[in-house]
Structure 1
Amino acid sequence: MAPASRMLPVVARRAASIQSMTPAEAQELLVKQRSNRPTSPHLAIYKVQITMALSSMHRITGVALSASLYGLGLSYVFAPMLGYSVSSTAIAAAFGGLPVAAKFAAKLLAATPFSFHAFNGIRHLIWDTASQLTNKAVVQTGVAVLGASAVTVVGLLLL
């Protein structure tokens, strides 16, 4: 038997075939190859966890708040051209003339994403310090974010 230093590794080799084909034939081959590929896992196979849900909601509320900010900024630019006033006095007068249910809905629509995004942002800042990163702590801070957001929203609705 040969010494270990002289043994060569066994390498499996496969012959590659090369053939020329038209773009239509190449597309057909690609479609055929893709149909043989396994389907990758989808979100439906995962158990929804508080971390997943809060991460999604943080992104959604961030986009909503950004869109609201840009919309308000653009309204200050374009509203006067259309004959509307968006001064603080005009907004306060319009809000004051709304029915109580509409005021409640407007406050809820504004307070909920703002308070959640703010508290969840603080949670992310805490994570940036490399603390509260265990599975148990992540769930606890998620529940704390939801609780603090709910208390804040109720407080803002009562103003």
Structure 2
Amino acid sequence: MASADTEVSRRPRPLSPHLSIYRPIVTMVMSIMHRVTGMMNVAGLVLVVIYLLALAGGPESYEWANGIYSSWLGRIVLVAFTWSLIHHMLGGIRHFVWDTGHGFGDVRYDLARLTIFGSIILTTALWSLIVVLEVI
């Protein structure tokens, strides 16, 4: 009977490729960010539901939720949620362009960069407008 300590069992096993093997490129990072923003959107929608429940719960619960969401930490979370929604939307548009058969080749890098910068610019513009109009 063969022993478990034979030469065959001592050979190093091959490793599967993983993120440390590959050089990160913008399209790979965008793929990961699309998944991350999808999870952020779910968490943000939970915050929206909490706010709506507080609104339906009466003046005391509304004041409680409004106090949390209008604090500096609440505003940071809302800005992050807004960026997440916009980034995920622009990533979806990028995927829609790919579904039409366009945007492949070197253009895919430009589309990925446009998604990054577009989400930052649109979020900044939206929150600048919110601050100027004093909506929140």
For the criterion TM > 0.5, the same-fold answer is yes
Task: Tell me the residue number matched to 1:69.
Answer: 45
> Gaps (5+ residues) in structure 1?
1-18, 80-84
Q: Structure 1, residues 49-97: CA drift from partner, whole Å, max 9, x if none? A: 0001000000011122123325644x489x6xxxxx3439727971598
Task: Tell me the residue number matched to 2:134.
Answer: none
CA radius of gyration, larger in: 1
Task: Tell me the residue number matched to 1:16.
Answer: none
> Gaps (5+ residues) in structure 2?
131-136
Q: Structure 1, residues 2-47: CA drift from partner, whole Å, max 9, x if none? A: xxxxxxxxxxxxxxxxx8x9xxx8xx58xx6485422222211211
Q: Distance in 1 between matches of 2:11 and 2:114?
A: 46
Q: TM-score under structure 1 normalisation?
A: 0.62
Of 124, 144, 147 in structure 1, the residue corresponding to residue 95 of structure 2 is 124
Residue 87 (1) aligns with residue 56 (2): yes
Identity within the alignment, %: 25
Q: TM-score under structure 2 normalisation?
A: 0.71
Moved over 6 A (4+): none
Q: Distance in 2 between matches of 1:123 and 1:95?
A: 37
Q: CA RMSD in A?
A: 3.4
Q: Number of paired residues?
A: 124
Task: Tell me the residue number matched to 2:123.
Answer: 153
Q: Distance in 2 between matches of 1:122 and 1:97?
A: 30
